[in-house]
Amino acid sequence: MQGKFITFEGIDGSGKSTQLRMVSGELRGRGLDVITTREPGGTPLGRRLREAFLETEETVSPLAELLLFAADRAQHVELLIKPSLAEGRIVISDRYADATFAYQGAGRGFPETTVKQIIELATGGLKPDLTLFFDISVEKALKRMISHDESDNRKKNRMDAETGDFYSSVRDAYLRIAEKEPQRFAVIDANGSVDEIQSKVAAIVTEFLNPQNPHRTKIG
């Protein structure tokens, strides 16, 4: 049986990674076979790429960046995501192709058709079954990014230096995808407390995994 592919997206500072850890722990507690991963950096090669082009102060050309995210994804899809789905597992990835549309397309200004072609090449057309978009105001996200820098051991990356305008374009691009693909995309208001958000996430994911449940609520 083919597994399920779920992705978490959001602008930096949206709290998605914390939510990913929480919901995957809950699903595992229910006995489900869940694998968590991330982009970039879901494979050994991807981790080396991440360090080389993201966690660096070196100037990276926007085209090199676009292609390196795609290289990371090609490796990730081929060596980890597809084999795990073929084994019937639930794969939850912290970011995937929507991030490239939002960051490199809207953020860096690459034409949508170029981004689409590169993503198609890298993924072979593999799309998530469900995407959760953690929607937070840019102002709040920027504040969180600053406080993370002071308290977390999360590694800084080049995107941390981007402006509010950059993140507004990225957020708008995610919301446009959500409008275009309401069946796949669930937009979660991520301005509330961790616990409030967690119960929304758990409800959406549970409903998605148990579509025959009579108490279904609509995604999105």
Chain residues that interact with ligand TMP, rule: CB under 6 A: 12, 38-40, 54, 69, 94-95, 99-100, 103-104, 157, 159
3-state helix, strand, coil in the chain (%, to 5): 55, 15, 30
CB 94 → ligand TMP: shortest distance, Å? 6
Cis amide prior to 40 (ω within 30 degrees): yes
C-beta of 1 vs 161, nearer to ligand TMP: 161
CB 151 → ligand TMP: shortest distance, Å? 15
Q: Hey, what's the torsion of the CAs at 155, 158, 163, 169, to 10 degrees?
A: -100
Cβ pair 103, 9 in contact under 8 A: no
C-beta of 4 vs 76, nearer to ligand TMP: 76
CB 93 → ligand TMP: shortest distance, Å? 9
C-beta of 103 vs 174, nearer to ligand TMP: 103
Task: Give the Å distances, CA to CA, from 9 to 88, 95, 132, 177.
Answer: 23, 5, 6, 11
CB 168 → ligand TMP: shortest distance, Å? 15
CB 178 → ligand TMP: shortest distance, Å? 17
Write a three-state SS string for 91-122. EEEECCHHHHHHHHHHHCCCCHHHHHHHHHHH
Beta bridge mates, 91: 5, 35
C-beta of 28 vs 158, nearer to ligand TMP: 158
C-beta of 29 vs 57, nearer to ligand TMP: 57
